[in-house]
């Protein structure tokens, strides 16, 4: 239990930076959707999906490889510097090749008229890929607060620059153009449009790299080719895993323009609507990401401990992940009528994707949690197999469902494809993991919590319909939300009754005996 408490503490710190950071970035979505039409915001969402793939490729599994070998080898510093030199070299090479081949690359992703956007995001992703290793080093050293501080600084700077470029500069151009024209005019000023979003990204990423200089300097760099070969042998399946995984996560935004290639404007509009609405489901992504930051160092550290103790810790981690994931799902679903105002009314037709994507991301989080069996047994090729299966299933479902649903709602096919693929690999990973690294997961209890969440969600929806039909007073909305808060309390109470939550569980047991 001590290990779980440490995991929870670090997840909370990483989660604070992740949740606050993503929430603040999330707040930029209303700015984008009110300033730019769906077609232009569709370009932003579309390009970000490609940069997500590029980031995984440029990391090529070295982040997880670093954790594995830093805990395994006698000299963690040599593991770190070898990783830095390798990723630094490939990041610089990527920037050079992108600069030389910017025309063909832009054409291949159907954006031949936006080479500047592609180059800006390409350089940004190369900087981010290199920065990921110093961030991993901070996690390895359990310096969660420094990690969180730099992450939040990055977010704050990015938001500030977005506000400056998209709101401040156009206002200043009208009243005092001389103040900003030295940097604003050369790129086209207000006409550069969404390009300023990408300029803000590259500046904030460069500043983060500067903040990480203490993790990059003041050490003796040692490069061990033999060690790198072992790390690459361990990590290359994770690269395939990561690429297939991120392609699956972003497939909706990436595939729609290709499926509807003869309807560019409609396709970009669909991508914009889909991309804006899945931002509401990002709460589940934030939770999964925060958990991931703490979980990878946790599982490799626990691997050194006693067999039964560490296995129980892994099972407890899975159970509490499911508990909190279901709680987040209920919270978002119950307050969706409020959360939808983060996007413009013109995007509300896509709100139907939110519950589907929330469930999909929960399945993906469980799948990630299950992935410890192939990481701890050095069978990382199984991660590659799982991700390839996920990719194939999702691609097949997208190619079937998206054109079948058609314009303008084809993005719903991408949402259902994500849920189907993540659920399939989650189940597959569980059964294969039972063979190679069996763990006594509390499946009955987790199933009970899942059933409870579904029932409470249905009850919340039924309560909404009941109040809207039978109560037309001004208090009906307040009653709806009061009922939903009560249902969340019921979920929390049931969990605390079955689990040993300090102070709360004993109190509930005493109240039940009375």
Question: Which among 31-40, 41-50, 443-452 has the top mean pLDDT?
Answer: 443-452
Give dist(CA 316, CA 331) in Å, integer: 23
pLDDT over 90 at 382, yes or no: no
Q: In this structure, what token pair is assigned to residue 241?
A: 């895993």
Q: What is the pLDDT of residue 465?
A: 56
- pLDDT for the residue 248: 77
Quote the CA–CA distance of 51 and 57 in Å, as a whole number. Answer: 10
Checking if the pLDDT of 283 tops 90, the result is: no
Residue 287, pLDDT score: 73
Work out the burial of residue 2: count CB atoms within 10 Å of its CB; fewer than 13 is exposed, 13-18 middle, 19 or more buried.
exposed
Which of 73 and 196 is assigned the larger pLDDT?
A: 196
Q: Contact 438/454 with Cβ under 8 angstroms?
A: no
**What pLDDT, in 10s, does the model give residues 359-375?**
998 998 888 888 877 87
Rounded CA gap, 274 and 279, in Å?
A: 9
Rounded distance between C-alpha atoms, residue 124 and residue 90, angstroms: 14
Q: For the segment 134-163, what is each residue's pLDDT rounded down to a tens digit? A: 998 988 887 878 888 898 899 889 999 999
Per residue in 215-261, pLDDT tens?
A: 998 888 888 899 899 888 888 877 877 787 788 778 888 888 888 87
**Residue 205: predicted pLDDT:** 94
Model pLDDT for residues 311-355, shown as the tens digit of each residue: 777 788 888 889 988 998 998 888 888 888 777 777 888 888 999
Which of 358, 350, 353, 363 has the alpha carbon at shortest distance from 331?
Answer: 358
292 C-beta neighbours (distance < 10 Å), count: 16
Q: Give the lowest-confidence range in 80-84, 172-176, 312-316.
A: 312-316
Distance between CA atoms of 324 and 238, rounded to whole angstroms?
27
Average pLDDT of 411-421?
92
Largest CA distance in the chain: 76
In this model, does residue 36 exceed pLDDT 60? yes
Cα 340 from Cα 157, distance rounded (Å): 26
Task: Provide CB contacts within 8 A for 154, sequence distance 6+.
Answer: 21, 204, 205, 207, 208
Q: Are the C-beta atoms of 60 and 235 separated by less than 8 Å?
A: yes
* Mean pLDDT to the nearest integer, 376-387: 78
Indicate the pLDDT class of residue 174, thresholds 50, 70 and 90.
confident
Rounded mean pLDDT of 34-61? 86
Segment among 27-31, 88-92, 192-196 with least mean pLDDT: 27-31
Closest CA to 147 of 132, 156, 131, 135: 135
Contact between 287 and 325 under an 8 Å Cβ cutoff? The reply is yes
Q: What is the pLDDT of residue 16?
A: 60
120-134 pLDDT, tens per residue? 999 999 999 999 999
Q: Are the CB atoms for 190 and 170 separated by under 8 Å?
A: yes
pLDDT: which is higher, 275 or 293? 275
Calpha distance 421→417 (Å, rounded): 6
Please state which of the ranges 85-99, 173-187, 398-412 shows the lowest mean pLDDT: 173-187
Distance from C-alpha of 234 to C-alpha of 64, rounded to nearest angstrom: 9
Report yes or no: 124 and 51 within 8 Å, Cβ to Cβ. Answer: yes
Instruction: Grade residue 9 by pLDDT with cuts at 50, 70 and 90.
Output: low
Sign of CA dihedral 442, 446, 449, 451: negative
Q: Of 298 and 491, which is predicted with more confidence?
A: 491
Higher-confidence position of 296 and 279? 279
Among 241, 292, 255, 260, residue whose Cα is nearest residue 415: 255
265 against 169, higher pLDDT: 169
% of the chain with per-residue pLDDT over 90: 27
Cis ω on the peptide bond leading into residue 408 (within 30° of 0)?
Answer: yes
Confidence of residue 306 (pLDDT cuts 50, 70, 90): low
Q: What is the pTM of this model?
A: 0.73
| Structure tokens, 492 | 């929390």
Instruction: Write down the mean pLDDT value for the chain.
Output: 83
Closest by CA to 165, choosing from 204, 126, 128, is 204
CA distance 290 to 7: 11
| Residue 350: partners with Cβ closer than 8 Å, 6 or more residues away | 273, 274, 276, 277, 411
Cβ 382 vs Cβ 440: under 8 Å: no
Between residues 74 and 395, which one has the greater pLDDT?
395
């Amino acid at each position: 239990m001590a290990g779980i408490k440490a995991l929870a503490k670090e997840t909370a710190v990483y989660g604070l930076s992740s949740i606050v950071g993503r929430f603040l970035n999330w707040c930029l979505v209303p700015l984008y959707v009110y300033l730019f039409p769906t077609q232009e915001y569709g370009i932003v969402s579309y390009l970000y999906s490609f940069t997500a793939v590029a980031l995984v490729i440029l990391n090529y599994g070295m982040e997880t490889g670093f954790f594995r070998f830093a805990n395994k080898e006698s000299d963690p510093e040599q593991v770190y510097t070898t990783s830095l030199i390798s990723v630094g070299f490939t990041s610089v090479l990527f920037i050079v090749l992108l600069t030389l081949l910017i025309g063909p690359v832009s054409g291949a992703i159907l954006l031949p008229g936006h080479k500047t956007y592609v180059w800006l995001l390409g350089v940004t992703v190369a900087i981010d890929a290199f920065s990921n290793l110093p961030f991993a080093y901070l996690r390895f050293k359990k310096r969660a607060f420094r990690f969180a501080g730099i992450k939040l600084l990055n977010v704050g700077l990015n938001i500030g620059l977005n506000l400056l470029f998209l709101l401040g500069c156009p206002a200043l151009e009208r009243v005092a153009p001389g103040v900003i024209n030295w940097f604003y005019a050369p790129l086209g000023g207000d006409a550069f449009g969404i390009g300023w979003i990408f300029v803000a990204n590259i500046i904030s990423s460069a500043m983060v790299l500067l903040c990480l200089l203490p993790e990059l300097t003041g050490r003796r760099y040692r490069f061990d080719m033999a060690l790198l070969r072992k790390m690459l042998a361990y990590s290359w399946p994770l690269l395939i895993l990561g690429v297939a995984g991120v392609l699956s996560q972003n497939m909706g935004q990436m595939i729609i323009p290709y499926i509807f290639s003869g309807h560019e404007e409609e396709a970009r509009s669909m991508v914009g609507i889909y991309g804006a609405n899945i931002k509401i489901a990002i709460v589940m992504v934030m939770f999964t990401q925060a958990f991931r930051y703490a979980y990878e160092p946790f599982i490799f550290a626990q691997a050194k401990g006693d067999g039964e103790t560490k296995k129980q810790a892994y099972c407890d981690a899975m159970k509490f992940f499911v508990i909190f994931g279901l709680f987040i799902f209920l919270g978002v679903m119950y307050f969706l009528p409020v959360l939808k105002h983060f996007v413009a009314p013109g995007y509300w037709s896509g709100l139907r994707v939110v519950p589907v994507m929330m469930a999909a991301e929960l399945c993906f989080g469980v799948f990630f949690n299950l992935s410890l069996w192939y990481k701890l047994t050095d069978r990382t090729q199984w991660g590659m197999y799982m991700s390839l299966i996920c990719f194939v299933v999702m691609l097949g479902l997208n190619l079937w469902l998206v054109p079948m649903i058609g314009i303008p709602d084809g993005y719903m096919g991408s949402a259902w494809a994500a849920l189907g693929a993540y659920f399939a690999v989650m189940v597959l990973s569980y059964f294969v993991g039972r063979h190679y690294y069996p763990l006594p997961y509390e499946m009955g209890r987790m199933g009970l919590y899942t059933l409870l969440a579904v029932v409470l969600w249905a009850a919340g929806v039924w309560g909404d319909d009941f109040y809207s039909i039978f109560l037309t007073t001004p208090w009906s909305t307040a009653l709806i939300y009061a009922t939903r808060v009560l249902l969340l309390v019921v979920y929390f109470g049931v969990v605390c009754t079955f689990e040993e939550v300090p102070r709360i569980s004993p109190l509930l047991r005493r109240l039940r005996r009375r």
